[in-house]
A and B are shown apart, each in its own frame.
Chain A
Amino acid sequence: MMSIISLILFPFVFALLIYVLDKKWSAYLAIIGSGLSLFYFLYLLSGFKASMKVENEFQISWIPGINSELHFGLDSLGIIMILLSVIVIPIGILSSFKYKDNRSKSYYMLMLMGLSALIGFFSAQNDITFYVFFELSLIPFYFIILLYGGADRKKAVFKFFIYTVFGSFLMLAAIIYFHSLIGANKTTDWALLYDMEIPLKSQTWILAALLVAFAIKSPLFPFHTWQADLYAEGDRPTIIIIAGVLSKMGVFGLLRFFNVVNDAIALYQIPLIILCIVGIIYGALIAWRQSDLSRLLAYSSLSHMGMIAAGIFTASISGLQGSVFQMLSHGLVAAGLFFVVDTIMSRTNSSNIYASSGIASTQPNLAFYFFVLCLASVGLPLTSGFIGEFDILLGLTNTNIYLGAIAGLSIIFGAIYTFRLYQKSMFGTSNEVSSTWKPLSLTEEYALLILVLLVFVLGFFPSSWLDLADQATAPFVQLKSKM
């Protein structure tokens, strides 16, 4: 049976294997398990034709009383995000290889369980499954950071957890609410939900609850306060995953529920976009003045997520398409940037951006990879970052030319803080660290190489991915005609 459930359980089986086998194998089992799930996913995809149908479905009745099913399946939107997870999580595990001697079995087990939960989340085909896996994917990463990371990690991850759960309980309230609107004994697959006519007043409430939930998870502007602390203190391989994949869960959720609340989004479109743009500029300005590697990237991430959300709220073809593409691209780039930060910090034991200054002259490989990732983050043409940002800005300008212009500023700010980061950390006067610098290990080299190649591939040949993004957002664009 080639259904999606086997892909979801695949990493989980490896987690059980890690539990059974000796500790010295656990890191290798983790990388094999997550790597094989990438190939298994590609194998499942081989028969997939870009269409609006859901394929490889798995569907059993699950929760009695509310008549909910456990329903997974592959659709265009989910495919993009599952691909991102099965790429980024092996990268995260690769980056943990240098710490593998003081990482316990449970660390790798939790990583793989996290992968299972993420695949489940991105392939969920109804709202209850979506909600359960939204929460479930939080728990493994919560425990990982509880066990490993910087000195202040407990406080940071606790804040993250409480924020997220507050959001997800609001989402649960919203889900229960529209369940009560559409009546008890109906299944709530996405396709059916999208056809539901929900009165505007109810939609506004649902949108408010969902927005808080997803804005906390992404994070978007007023709900981002957990982010910088967590990124600075958490276990760095896990932060690669959180910045790469978990932060996309929020905007992914916005897309999933887009058609449920489309009238409300149309009504509040301009205020929502303004809020996003405030976040874009705010994140960029703070990133400009940061001298802490992780915190700088955290605020840059905030800025980029604001851009993606703004693209979604334009509700236009190019905006939505750009957002979906940018989710993939930013996931890879953010993972790559945090990977570089991890390579630097594991050698300097300092998060200051000056700690590794002058390293470019002795470590050209690292400098090159970092440079490509920075270019992609800024959105230079021929890197993956360009297409998404361009599409989003196009959508924004079509919606409102002034808003588009202000959002466009973020490209300039982005260039300033990204190249400031690059300049201070790579160039400058070399200090005593650079003489004792360990060259890139094989795992680091390969992980970075893969990411850089992907950035170029997406930049040079975006069309097939854009088609997929087009398919993913096609159900939403009808809104355009309604408005």
Chain B
Amino acid sequence: MLSIVVLTVFATIVLYLGFFKNRNIIVPVALIGIFIALFCLISKQSLWNNWFMNMMSIEGPSRIFSILILSTTACLLPFINVFRARGSEEVADFSGILLFSIIGGLMMVSFSDLMILFLGLEILSIAMYILAGADRKKIKSNEASIKYFLLGAFASAILLFGIATYYASTGTFRLDTQVIHSSALINLSYLLLFSGLAFKVALVPFHFWAPDVYEGTPTVFTATMATVVKISAFGAMFQFIFYCGSNMADWLYWLLSIVALASILVGNIMALTQHSVKRLLAYSGIVQAGFILIGFLQFRLENSWMILYYLIAYTSASLVLFLGSYFVEEQSGTDDQSAFKGLYYNNPFLAIVLSIALISLGGGPLTAGFMAKLFVLNNAAQSGNIVLVIFALILAVLSLVYYFRIINLMFTKTNEERKWQIDFSYRSILSLLSIGTIVAGIIPYLLVNLLK
């Protein structure tokens, strides 16, 4: 709770810092805010014991989700400095909005009352609609913002309708009150709630916005969308299944497994045909979301660390990929795959870091991505879903085709050799994430013990 207060205070301070000419202190101030909030979370400080009449509680898994959101944002914030040339007020705006958005994220992962879920979702979403249009002068960015806003509003409406049906069938907004009977109406409300959240993580068939919006949004904020928003929405799904999972009808679980497989299938096939790296990553994000959803199918609290592990593996790889491809885009002026050609000869650091991230996403051995897939799929197989596992694995081969196509391009020699470097601070963040990916893949115990 205290962390939300801290974040709000710092977001406001950061916004006001935009009045001053010194554009170098904005991001550090925002970072200080995040670190204080992180400290509050980790040291289990709380301001009030009774938060909003128990409508939310940051405990157990939701604490880890919150820490994950905050640390992802801490990795993302320094990259807002790439907007420095546009003046201090833009840097302040974007940092402030980013801080506000993660307040929404924190609410989403720790709700036990559907009102908080809706509030959190809206706080997060509205901030993201703005950030999607951050490149005001680019038509694509505007298009992305409007598209995201219109479709997002629609999804929110569906979610709200789900909340309404939940209220209609139980007479309360709270999820933690025991619902004995399992009526058609309450299952309908679960379906609608799930659909609203599935939109945010871009699961098939709610994925149509993702490639267009990802493509138009400035890459730093695409990274936010692919990581912070997905973590928050999966965190909300986690709370939702934690409270209501036992009450859900069997056909809902069937539906979830079909959605998971469809996401893996459609995402893979569409990604194969993409030229733009950001669109490709959008589809690959759909695939990864499908894998995470498999983790939800056999939900038991003692196995919940698998979902968290997968999210961490996915987040660290995606951050490297989006932020790395930002620099490539910056250099060549396009996010087409051809821009990656010969990267190894021009900037070996970036090529190696990106390769590690791609291998991890593809499930290569001794990376976090492999362990994550192994955990989730093994868990599914133990509960008898072996057919799902086999299909998921066979489809996962497709994803290696497009991941390794990029690696192939990066290691292809080109005629023009222009060596270039990335700033030290950005380099250290990227290498930290890559080393983390490998360490978590070699010694999974370290991370798993933390998550447990």
**A residues within 8 Å of B by Cβ?**
61-66, 128, 131-133, 135-136, 139, 143, 146-147, 154, 158, 161-162, 165-166, 169-170, 172-173, 176-177, 179-180, 184
Q: Please measure, in the bound complex, the distance between the C-alpha atom of A179 and the C-alpha atom of B384, giving whole angstroms.
A: 11
Which 3 pairs, one residue from A and one from B, show the smallest C-beta to C-beta distance? Answer: A180-B381, A135-B365, A132-B365
For B263-302 the 0/1 string (1 means CB < 8 A from A) is 0000000000000000000000000000000000000000
A169 in contact with B378 (CB, 8 Å): no
Chain A: CB-nearest residue to B385:
A180
For B397-418 the 0/1 string (1 means CB < 8 A from A) is 1001100110110011000000
A139-B364, A176-B386 known, 8 other contacts, Cβ within 8 Å: A65-B448, A132-B365, A135-B370, A172-B377, A173-B389, A173-B394, A176-B377, A179-B382
A135 in contact with B381 (CB, 8 Å): no
B397 in contact with A132 (CB, 8 Å): no
Question: Chain B: interface secondary structure?
Answer: helix
Residues in B neighbouring A170, C-beta threshold 8 A: 393-394
Q: Please measure, in the bound complex, the distance between the C-alpha atom of A259 and the C-alpha atom of B390, giving whole angstroms.
A: 23
A66 in contact with B374 (CB, 8 Å): yes
Is the CB of B379 closer than 8 A to any CB of chain A? Answer: yes
A176 in contact with B445 (CB, 8 Å): no
Contact A65-B375, Cβ < 8 Å, known A158-B408, A176-B381, A180-B382? yes
Is the CB of B371 closer than 8 A to any CB of chain A? Answer: yes
Chain A: CB-nearest residue to B411:
A146
Q: Please measure, in the bound complex, the distance between the C-alpha atom of A346 and the C-alpha atom of B389, giving whole angstroms.
A: 47
B435 to chain A, nearest CB (A): 15
Q: Please measure, in the bound complex, the distance between the C-alpha atom of A472 and the C-alpha atom of B145, giving whole angstroms.
A: 65
Residues in A neighbouring B262, C-beta threshold 8 A: none
Is the CB of B306 closer than 8 A to any CB of chain A? Answer: yes
Q: Please measure, in the bound complex, the distance between the C-alpha atom of A169 and the C-alpha atom of B394, giving whole angstroms.
A: 7
Q: Please measure, in the bound complex, the distance between the C-alpha atom of A172 and the C-alpha atom of B370, giving whole angstroms.
A: 11
A50 to chain B, nearest CB (A): 32
User: How many B residues have CB within 8 A of the partner chain?
Assistant: 37
Is the CB of B444 closer than 8 A to any CB of chain A? Answer: yes
Is the CB of B37 closer than 8 A to any CB of chain A? Answer: no
Q: Which of A63, A136, A177, A180 contacts B374 (CB 8 A)?
A: A63
Is the CB of B366 closer than 8 A to any CB of chain A? Answer: yes
Residues in B neighbouring A173, C-beta threshold 8 A: 389-390, 393-394
Q: Please measure, in the bound complex, the distance between the C-alpha atom of A62 and the C-alpha atom of B375, giving whole angstroms.
A: 13
Is the CB of B27 closer than 8 A to any CB of chain A? Answer: no
Residues in A neighbouring B381, C-beta threshold 8 A: 176-177, 179-180
B411 in contact with A143 (CB, 8 Å): yes
Residues in B neighbouring A135, C-beta threshold 8 A: 364-365, 370
Q: Please measure, in the bound complex, the distance between the C-alpha atom of A158 and the C-alpha atom of B409, giving whole angstroms.
A: 11
B412 to chain A, nearest CB (A): 7
A63 in contact with B371 (CB, 8 Å): yes
Chain A: CB-nearest residue to B309:
A65
A169 in contact with B397 (CB, 8 Å): yes
Q: Which of B364, B366, B393, B445 contacts A64 (CB 8 A)?
A: B445
A65 in contact with B306 (CB, 8 Å): yes
Is the CB of B359 closer than 8 A to any CB of chain A? Answer: yes
Contact A177-B365, Cβ < 8 Å, known A64-B445, A165-B397? no
Contact A64-B444, Cβ < 8 Å, known A135-B365, A184-B382? yes
Q: Which of B370, B378, B389 contacts A66 (CB 8 A)?
A: B378
Q: Please measure, in the bound complex, the distance between the C-alpha atom of A8 and the C-alpha atom of B407, giving whole angstroms.
A: 27
B366 in contact with A65 (CB, 8 Å): no
Residues in A neighbouring B411, C-beta threshold 8 A: 143, 146-147
Residues in B neighbouring A139, C-beta threshold 8 A: 359, 364-365
Report which residue of B364, B381, B405, B408 has the largest number of chain A beta carbons within 10 angstroms of its beta carbon.
Answer: B381
Q: Please measure, in the bound complex, the distance between the C-alpha atom of A179 and the C-alpha atom of B365, giving whole angstroms.
A: 19
Residues in A neighbouring B448, C-beta threshold 8 A: 64-65
Residues in A neighbouring B379, C-beta threshold 8 A: 65
Chain A: CB-nearest residue to B441:
A132
B404 in contact with A133 (CB, 8 Å): no
B291 to chain A, nearest CB (A): 13
Residues in B neighbouring A165, C-beta threshold 8 A: 397, 400
Q: Please measure, in the bound complex, the distance between the C-alpha atom of A133 and the C-alpha atom of B390, giving whole angstroms.
A: 21
Residues in B neighbouring A179, C-beta threshold 8 A: 378, 381-382
Contact A162-B401, Cβ < 8 Å, known A135-B364, A172-B393? yes
Q: Please measure, in the bound complex, the distance between the C-alpha atom of A169 and the C-alpha atom of B389, giving whole angstroms.
A: 10
A132 in contact with B366 (CB, 8 Å): yes
Chain B: CB-nearest residue to A143:
B411
Chain B: CB-nearest residue to A63:
B444
A93 to chain B, nearest CB (A): 21
B408 in contact with A146 (CB, 8 Å): yes
Residues in B neighbouring A131, C-beta threshold 8 A: 365
Q: Which of A62, A158, A172 contacts B444 (CB 8 A)?
A: A62
